[in-house]
Amino acid sequence: MKTDLKKILSVPSVEAAPMLLGMSLCRKTKQGVIKARIVETEAYHQMDPASHSYRGMTARTAPMFEAGGTIYVYFTYGMHYCMNIVVGEKGAGEAVLLRALEPLEGIEIMRQNRGVEDIRNLASGPGKLTQSFGITDTRLSGEKLNRSSIWLEMPEKKLKEHEIAVSQRIGIKEATNQPWRFYIKDNRFISRK
DNA sequence: TTCCCGATTGTA
DNA sequence: ACAATCGGGAAC
């Protein structure tokens, strides 16, 4: 049975995060189309003290409470943007942080956006991948996949369970950390650490 | 209105 | 190991 994208976007984040691995994040830009494979994700949800949705809805986090398929972009450390794909039902406050991508198409555009040459340094981190995709503000936050410049494409072959690795999330305080980071085993494009 | 700090990155 | 850099949100 073919796994449907809509189905993936409707389940809780801890289930959706590994399911998004292998899918392609795509964006149409002025310079051309960019495509990159999702190789590392993290799950966040409303009962999670490390999640932006934990303390309820604010102007910034409102998109995180929208229905699955919404995009949530936030600004952090005074200089970086991070992108999430909201999942679950409207009001749930569930999202999957995209942490690393493997460049597939539009690699020259990604190089220009990042200002670096090394393909492994284009999208191997949550701040890097937004920069390589030309996301330089939070205007995409609240937009819907497929109804904006950004969309997802299903992989040609689905990942097997043994190809997926799990670990604690990165940059989260010890006390609130959980094994909710997922990445493709042995992939060269995951973030460092 | 003040103050602290972060779902990071690049450099030393 | 650490500085850069600034908006969000809690506290006052």
Q: pLDDT tens-digit profile of A149-182? A: 999 999 988 999 999 999 999 999 999 999 999 9
**Closest residue by C-alpha to C1' distance, nucleotide C5:** A78
Q: pLDDT tens-digit profile of A15-56? A: 999 999 999 999 999 999 999 999 999 999 999 999 999 999
pTM summary value: 0.97
Q: How many residues does chain A have?
A: 193
**Closest residue by C-alpha to C1' distance, nucleotide B6:** A77
* A111 phi, psi to nearest 5 deg: -60, -45
Q: Is the CB of A115 under 7 A from strand C?
A: no
Q: What is the DSSP secondary-structure string of A127-189?
A: HHHHHHTT--SSTTTTPBTTSSSEEEE--SSPPPGGGEEEEPPSS--GGG--S-EEEETT-TT
Which bases of strand C sit closer than 7 A to a protein CB? 4-10
